[in-house]
Amino acid sequence: MSAPRLGSIESGGTKFVCLVGSAPDRIEAEIRFPTGEPGPTLARAIDFFRKAAAETGPLDAIGIASFGPLELRPGHAKFGRLAATPKPGWSGADIAGPVAAALNVPVGIDTDVNGAALGEGRWGAARGLDTYVYLTVGTGIGGGAVIGGEVVRGLVHTEMGHLAVPRVAGDAFPGSCPFHGDCWEGLAGGEAMHARWGTPAEELTGDALREALRLEAAYLAAGLRNIVYTTAPQRIVIGGGVAELPGLFPLLSAELTSALAGYPGLAEHSAGDFVVPARLGRLAGPAGGLVLAARAAAAARRRPSGTGPSGGRDA
């Protein structure tokens, strides 16, 4: 059987990445463009896939890894639509529906973070594991938990960035989350770091960088402790710009060991491969789209009607 021909959309707040292929290292065609109004932006994506199908043959399915918050409850009237978002024009926008209707192929959709989690599990730093957490620490913090091979979601997708974490002694920074102030993201996301230090994290050097890393590792470890105890991951994979700060991971591993305080006493929690950097980098989102597409194609093969948008959990 030949490799499936899958389409992937990474629907981001600033840019769209669309590609055709079967794996991150098997990409036949790709296009990137800035995110504008929903109608023209989705039309541009649809046009790209139409041309690709006309030139090289039909697609088996398309997967969408999108910024959120998204309605993902199967069968919900607003399935595949964005909820209220600060991105102008996109609140309530239907992302999955127009793609499925225009291209008449199965469409899978999940959040960009959950997509990246699936991508890291298939091709990246969580390959071979079935229970792990993917965390992105960029402007904000987002996390996706894969448990027994399935992304966890219920009423809504997980919102790990808004966990409550204890303050580090002496830290008076009020926090930057518009909802909670000093939640995890409000204390440790890239925007919080920028506000706290008066400069973007990636521009810090010398003593300022050392102090920022010390505090960042402590706060990340505090949140990871909650995640370790609630989801029992085999590994935690961290991507995003803040995760690329030099020297962060060894500090973070040490802080996590300290935060767990010997309970439950697993050697794995302190091992060097427990908290690791993401491996797919900027391809994590598009790779997630490919996994969602493959799952949508598999689900459609089992369903008489064949097409229509679906979540990524049923393959």
The binding site for Zn ion (CB under 5 A) comprises 162, 177, 179-180, 183
Question: Which one, 133 or 187, has the nearer CB to Zn ion?
Answer: 187
CA distance 110 to 66: 6
Structure tokens at 125: 């730093």
Question: Which one, 44 or 180, has the nearer CB to Zn ion?
Answer: 180
Question: Which one, 102 or 195, has the nearer CB to Zn ion?
Answer: 195
- Minimum Å gap between C-beta 201 and Zn ion is 18
- Minimum Å gap between C-beta 197 and Zn ion is 20
117 contact partners, CB below 8 Å, separation of at least 6? 126, 132, 133, 134, 144, 145, 146, 151, 237, 288
Structure tokens at 151: 């992304």
1 contact partners, CB below 8 Å, separation of at least 6? none
CA distance 119 to 142: 15
- Minimum Å gap between C-beta 214 and Zn ion is 23
> What type of residue is 92?
G
Angle at 112 between CA 111 and CA 116, to 5 degrees: 115
Count of CB atoms within 10 A of residue 31's CB?
Answer: 16
- Minimum Å gap between C-beta 310 and Zn ion is 30
- Minimum Å gap between C-beta 128 and Zn ion is 33
- Minimum Å gap between C-beta 181 and Zn ion is 8
- Minimum Å gap between C-beta 174 and Zn ion is 12
- Minimum Å gap between C-beta 165 and Zn ion is 11
Question: Which one, 99 or 177, has the nearer CB to Zn ion?
Answer: 177
| Cis peptide upstream of residue 69 (ω within 30 degrees of 0) | yes
Please choose, from the candidates 39, 48, 54, the residue with its C-alpha nearest in 3D space to the C-alpha of residue 20. 48
Phi, psi of 31, deg, nearest 5: -145, 145
Please choose, from the candidates 137, 229, 114, 116, the residue with its C-alpha nearest in 3D space to the C-alpha of residue 186. 137
Question: Which one, 177 or 245, has the nearer CB to Zn ion?
Answer: 177
Question: Which one, 73 or 162, has the nearer CB to Zn ion?
Answer: 162
Question: Which one, 177 or 227, has the nearer CB to Zn ion?
Answer: 177
Question: Which one, 121 or 143, has the nearer CB to Zn ion?
Answer: 143
**Cα separations in angstroms, 8 against 93, 105, 145, 291:** 19, 12, 21, 9
β-strand pairing of 6-11 with 15-23:
antiparallel
SS3 153: strand
Structure tokens at 290: 């490919």
